[in-house]
Amino acid sequence: MLSKLLLVLLLIFVVLSIAFVIKNKRIKRIALQKFKEMDPQELSDWSPEKLDSKRAHMDPLADQTVAIIMAKQESAEINHLFHSIVKDSEQLPPTAPKELHDYFEESAKLPEWADPDLIALGQQIYLRHGIWIGLLLCYKSLPECYACARGAEVLHKTARLNEKKGSLDAYSRRIAETALFVVFAMSPDGLDKKGKGLRATQKVRLIHATIRYFLKQHNWDADTYGEPINQEDLAGTLMSFSALILEGLETIGVEFEPVEMEAYIHCWRVIGHIAGLDEDMIPKNAKDALKLGHSILDKEIAPSDHAKELVKALREFQDTKSKPILGSQSNIAMMRLMMGKDISDLLGVEPIDQSQIDRMEKKLKRITAVGEFLDKSLIFSFFLQGFTKLGLMLMLKRMTTRSIINFYIPKSLTQDWGTKS
């Protein structure tokens, strides 16, 4: 009986493995054909003048939707409405205004240039390296966003990531929501018509519009900071989640083939479109995305006490959640490795001996070398993807027990500024 069971399990494994190999080879073959038609060297004009002009541009579709809904209903009803669309169900509540239905219908349209085959390969790449991408989100992407002082002002002002008198649990939920958004959007089928990633991106876009609405109602200084969550800040955030992630992966020894890089960035180009990024702010390819990310970072990086407060909260979160796993001072070493000395010093990251950073780099490269070796074999890659899925779920579970993208008016807008909710 046991031998028959083992034989059945072996047959299932063989069938699944063969199907996995065939599917992934097909995805890669088609993507390579399309890669030959691309110009991976084409670059856009990301001059300071162009980027600065985009600080006055926001998101007309989402902003008009929120403004119309706010004009029709009391904020308590707004919160009830927003809460009702938190769940990842396909149907909006029956009481949802027509404008909200129109928004979800319009924002679900993918751009004409969106390529399902490149998206499929890009999402496969994410699935193979999702744990490392999740770590880089916390140790590189978010703090480098904070280094852009004018953009960080929105985060500090609304307290989405640093609520006044809030608990670390609240901060953990915000980080987990960001990580969950990335998982949903970059998982296979996430950007399909009924994909969780599509709906999550639509919700995040509405969150941004809601925050803009309240900030502009409460004396936001657009002359100093630009419009809240403007096109440049949105592009900078998306590049930190995509192109700068690829840079971080290279630091720890994970390198992609050119077609894999283009496919990964293609996914984020599509996500940028769904999130409300202007067409002329969407990079043309991976090289262009990296240029855009660094152009914004170099232009906007500046000392900021508020940015330091955000990083301090992030460091507390890291020490609470990952110190028992990675070891003493490992979080400091990891952050300084990923961002470098200048940005780390600017953000007030604690100093540490260079030898500890070097040891962290060697440790990470040893681990990734094993993963890259296994990834080269499609059979082992089959196991690796399963391990990555499990690892991502455990990582999210450690951050928070919630499994949804929260959608509500931030407390700092409803309590600190006296708005009803």
- DSSP category for residue 42: -
Do 419 and 214 touch, CB atoms closer than 8 A? yes
Closest CA to 40 of 298, 255, 294, 283: 283
* DSSP state letters, 261-320: HHHHHHHHHHHHHHTT--GGGS-SSHHHHHHHHHHHHHHHB---HHHHHHHHHHHHHHHH
Q: Are 56 and 87 in contact (CB under 8 A)?
A: no
**Exposure of 299 by Cβ count < 10 A (0-12 exposed, 13-18 middle, 19+ buried)?**
middle
Q: What angle do CA 202, 176, 267 make, to 5 degrees?
A: 45
Report pLDDT for 391.
76
Give SS3 for 419: coil
CA distance 67 to 61: 10
Which amino acid is it at 95? Answer: T
The predicted pLDDT at position 175 comes to: 79
188 neighbors 416 (Cβ within 8 angstroms): no
Whole-angstrom distance, CA of residue 136 vs CA of residue 73 = 41
CB atoms within 10 A of CB 110: 16
What is the C-alpha to C-alpha distance for residues 351 and 328, in angstroms, rounded to an integer? 14
Question: What span, in angstroms and rounded, lies between the C-alpha atoms of 307 and 348?
Answer: 9
User: Scanning the structure block, which residue is given the tokens 């047959």?
Assistant: 11
Question: Residues 214, 417: contact at Cβ < 8 Å?
Answer: yes
Report the C-alpha gap between 212 and 206 in whole angstroms: 10
CA diameter of the chain: 76
Element (H, E) at 236: helix 231-240
pLDDT on residue 165: 47
DSSP sequence for 111-171: PTT--HHHHHHHHHHHHHHHHHHHHHIIIIIHHHHHHBHHHHHHHHHHTSSS-TT--HHHH
Inter-CA distances, 290 with 35, 107, 113, 133, Å: 18, 26, 20, 16
**pTM (2 decimals)?**
0.89
Q: How far apart are the first and last CA of the chain?
A: 62
Query: Do 139 and 364 contact (CB within 8 A), yes or no?
Result: no
Give the Cα separation of 98 and 69 in Å (integer).
9
Reduce the DSSP state of residue 99 to 3 states and report it. Answer: helix
Q: What is the pLDDT along the chain (421 residues), one digit of tens a residue?
A: 767 777 777 677 667 767 777 777 888 899 999 999 999 999 999 999 999 999 999 999 999 998 988 887 655 666 666 666 655 455 677 777 888 889 999 999 999 999 999 999 999 999 889 989 999 999 999 999 999 999 999 988 875 444 444 555 666 677 778 888 999 999 999 999 989 899 999 989 988 998 899 899 888 999 999 999 999 999 999 999 999 999 999 999 999 999 999 999 999 999 999 999 999 999 999 999 999 999 999 999 999 999 999 999 888 888 887 765 666 689 999 999 999 999 999 999 999 999 999 999 999 999 999 888 877 776 677 777 777 777 777 777 766 655 555 544 444 444 433 344 3
Whether the CB-CB separation of 347 and 332 falls below 8 Å is answered with no
CA distance 230 to 399: 29
pLDDT score, position 168: 55
- The tokens of 309 are what? 């407060």
At residue 101, the pLDDT reads: 87
User: What is residue 194's DSSP assignment?
Assistant: T
